[in-house]
Structures are given as C-alpha cells and as structure tokens.
C-alpha cells in the first residue's frame, strides 16, 4: 500500500501551505506514529503571526505543532514497551540525557533539548512522525486521541500546582483563563483546593472557567483586589498561579497572596517585569517561583484525565480537520476573545507502514 505523508508548512507570516513529504525512517528505539489530534497552542499562534518568540526565530518554511497524540503504526527493532495499534501522547521535548540538568532530574531545563515547533526544530503538524519510544506515552482505553493531545498543556498546569504546593483546603487565585489557566484550574481542584478564583478580561474564558469548576470568577478590568479580598474575608489567597506573566499581574499576585503565601509565575507575557512591590515580597515573606514546562509528569497527567479529574474536552472551542489547518490557525489568531483552544482532528488511520 502506498501511503503519503502530508505536512503543513509555515511559509511566511500567517501563510500555511500543505506539502507532501517522505514518511520518516524510524530508528531502532523509535516508533512511527500516525497523528490523530494536534492542539493549536498560543506559542504556535505567535510563531504563526510574528515569526519569533524572544530569541527563537523561525526560518521559513517551518512546521508548527507540539501538542499531539496518535497511533503507533510501526516499531523499531529495540522498542519493547509499545506495539502497533497503541495510542500514544507524545511529550514534545527530547532532552540530551547527559547534561547536568538531565542527570539531576531537571531535563526540562536541558540546554540541548529538541522541542517540537521551537526553532530550529520542526513540529508535528504532519500525518506521520518518527518518535523515540521513551517520549511516547500509551493512553488508556477510556481516553481519546483528542484528550491525548491535551496532555501537554495539562502537564504545565500540574507542574504549576505541584510547584505552588497546593493542598487540600487551600484557596487559589489563577490569573488568566486561557488554555493554561483552565488546565491549571483542573490541577488545583484535583489537589483539593477548596476555593478557586479565576480572573481574566475575556467573558468567554470566565464563563468557561465557571462552567468547568471555578468557585468564583473575577473580571480583571474591575477592582480585582477588592473582589478577591471580599471572597477571602480580607485574608488573601494561599497560592497565586499567574498564568499571564505581565508586570501588572505579578504585582497583583503580591497584593493578593496572604502573608507567607506562595506565588508561581506560569505565563510569560513580557520579557521583563517592572514596578514589582519588593516591600510586599519582604514584609509578607512571600515565596515566589516560576516553572518552565514540566518534567516526569506525563504519566500523572494521563492518570488525572483518565480518572475523570479534569474535564479536558471542555476547554476545546472548535475542532478542525487536518485539511482545515490553515483555518484553525487563522481562527485562533483573528478571534482570541472567542477562542480558548482549537484542535485539529485527523481521520482514523491505523494501517502499518512498511510491513
């Protein structure tokens, strides 16, 4: 059977073009995966529209996409844990395994990581991809490939909550109710937080947060300080998870966290922060930290979704076919106030390649 492999290339700002490419040859420790679902991430949209994020600059043509899941259609000679027909979520960062960060368990900080759709490395917006077995995680039978593609952003939320040491009975403020804010909300709820306040400026996102489990929502354009203090009886929250990462939101975090509370900077809206009240940081003895992606969290995240602790499908705004990829990206870029998460769903294809 002759099988084609098609990919979408970013050829210029906001220009996506489908091209046929070879089906990749797999190495002995790799699997060939037929894509089933790919999420449209905010970073992908930024590369799509601006061609760069900080020091990472796109050289056209470039393939986007890093939130993905699919079906194994071929295995390398040394693959032992996966089999043809297994459905898998792909962790998009392949670390070197030998540097200091990798050897000390912080492989998310590997300076030589190969991360899908982060220049100069192409992403997964294609029909077939070769991938290391160790970064392909089998999905349980009760999870869909759409849910598998959303493991990646959910893992960020899980990392944020673990880093913030959220525990049963805690009050949590999540600033920003985009995809990452909502999955962070799921993770906070699964950790036992009793009060979860979510703030944003977009009504759709606030409505979605309330529908999916927030205790309270607050429009950030109003007096958010008064609103949060009213909800917490003037105490402030135990943990702030800032999924926006602007100077203004970090300042709010300092104001709204309780004394001896914890702040985690999850988002990165600005390259530099200004006007941060160091007096509050000192007098409140606030613990402030940050996260970068995730490490060793795919199995945990898959278990949370499979166990029904995260209504991950609820964050999806629109679904597109692979052939509608250009529309999926233009929709996310042009209608941010009407979009939480767009996702691309492939037709099922589980045939074996190269049999």
Residue 308 counted as domain residue: no
Residue 309 counted as domain residue: no
Indicate the length of the chain as a whole number: 355
Q: What is the pLDDT of residue 3?
A: 79
Percent of the chain with pLDDT strictly greater than 90: 92
Rounded Cα distance, 231 and 171, in Å: 10
- pLDDT category at 306 given cuts 50, 70, 90 is very high
Q: What is the pLDDT of residue 348?
A: 55
Same structural domain, 175 and 263: yes
Percent of the chain with pLDDT strictly greater than 70: 97
Rounded Cα distance, 274 and 2, in Å: 57
Let me know: does 135 contact 142? Beta carbons within 8 Å: no
Q: What is the CA radius of gyration of the chain?
A: 21
Rounded Cα distance, 226 and 249, in Å: 15
Same structural domain, 17 and 141: yes
DSSP string of 318-334, one letter each residue: EEEEGGGHHHHHHHHHH
What SS3 class is residue 33? strand
Rounded Cα distance, 51 and 49, in Å: 6
Structure tokens at 15: 């220009």
- pLDDT category at 276 given cuts 50, 70, 90 is confident
Same structural domain, 185 and 139: no
CB contact set of 342 (below 8 Å; sequence gap of 6+) = 39, 40, 316, 317, 318, 319, 320, 328, 329, 331, 332
Number of domains in the chain: 2
Give mean pLDDT, residues 145-166: 98
Same structural domain, 163 and 99: no
Q: What is the pLDDT of residue 227?
A: 98
Residue 350 counted as domain residue: no
Q: What is the CATH number of the domain that holds 198?
A: 3.40.50.720
Model confidence over 32-67: pLDDT tens digits? 999 999 999 999 999 999 999 988 999 999 999 999
pTM above 0.75, yes or no: yes
Cα–Cα–Cα angle for 35, 332, 220, rounded to 5 degrees = 125
Does the pLDDT of residue 1 top 50, yes or no? no
Residue 330 counted as domain residue: yes
Cα–Cα–Cα angle for 133, 134, 137, rounded to 5 degrees = 80
Q: What is the CATH number of the domain that holds 58?
A: 3.90.180.10
Q: Report the mean per-residue pLDDT for the chain.
A: 95
> Which domain covers residue 182, as residue numbers?
154-290
Residue 179: closest CA among 159, 208, 201:
208
Q: On the CB side of 326, how many CA atoms lie within 13 Å of its CA?
A: 13
Q: What is the pLDDT of residue 351?
A: 40
Cα–Cα–Cα angle for 183, 186, 188, rounded to 5 degrees = 110
């Amino acid at each position: 059977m002759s099988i084609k492999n098609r990919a979408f290339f970013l050829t210029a700002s906001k220009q996506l073009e489908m091209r046929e490419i070879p089906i990749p040859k797999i190495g002995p420790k790799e699997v060939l995966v037929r894509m089933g679902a790919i999420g449209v991430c905010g970073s992908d949209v930024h590369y799509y529209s601006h061609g760069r994020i900080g020091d990472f600059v796109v050289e056209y043509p470039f393939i986007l996409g890093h939130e993905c899941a699919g079906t194994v259609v071929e295995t390398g000679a040394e693959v032992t844990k996966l089999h043809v027909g297994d459905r898998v979520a792909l962790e998009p960062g392949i670390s070197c395994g030998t540097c200091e960060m990798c050897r000390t368990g912080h492989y998310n900080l590997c300076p030589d990581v190969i991360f899908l759709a982060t220049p100069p490395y192409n992403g997964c917006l294609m029909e077939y991809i070769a991938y290391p077995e160790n970064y392909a995680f089998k999905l349980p039978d009760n999870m869909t490939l759409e849910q598998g593609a959303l493991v990646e952003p959910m893992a960020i939320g899980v990392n944020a909550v673990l880093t913030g040491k959220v525990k049963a009975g805690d009050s949590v403020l999540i600033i920003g109710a985009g995809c990452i804010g909502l999955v962070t909300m799921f993770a906070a709820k699964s950790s036992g937080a009793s009060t979860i306040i979510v703030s944003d400026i977009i009504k759709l996102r606030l409505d979605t947060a309330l529908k999916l489990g927030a205790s309270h929502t607050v429009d950030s354009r109003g007096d958010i300080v008064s609103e949060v203090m009213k909800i917490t009886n003037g105490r402030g929250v135990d943990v702030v998870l800032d999924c926006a990462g602007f100077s203004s939101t970090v300042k709010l975090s300092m104001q709204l966290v309780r004394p001896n509370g914890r702040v985690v900077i999850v988002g990165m809206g600005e390259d530099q922060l200004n006007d941060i009240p160091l007096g509050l940081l000192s007098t409140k003895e606030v613990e402030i930290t940050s996260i970068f992606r995730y490490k060793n969290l795919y199995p945990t995240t898959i278990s949370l979704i499979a166990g029904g602790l995260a209504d991950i499908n609820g964050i999806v705004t629109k679904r597109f076919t692979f052939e509608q990829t250009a529309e999926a990206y233009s929709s996310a870029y042009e209608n941010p106030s009407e979009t939480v998460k767009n996702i691309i769903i492939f037709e099922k294809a589980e045939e074996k390649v190269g049999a």
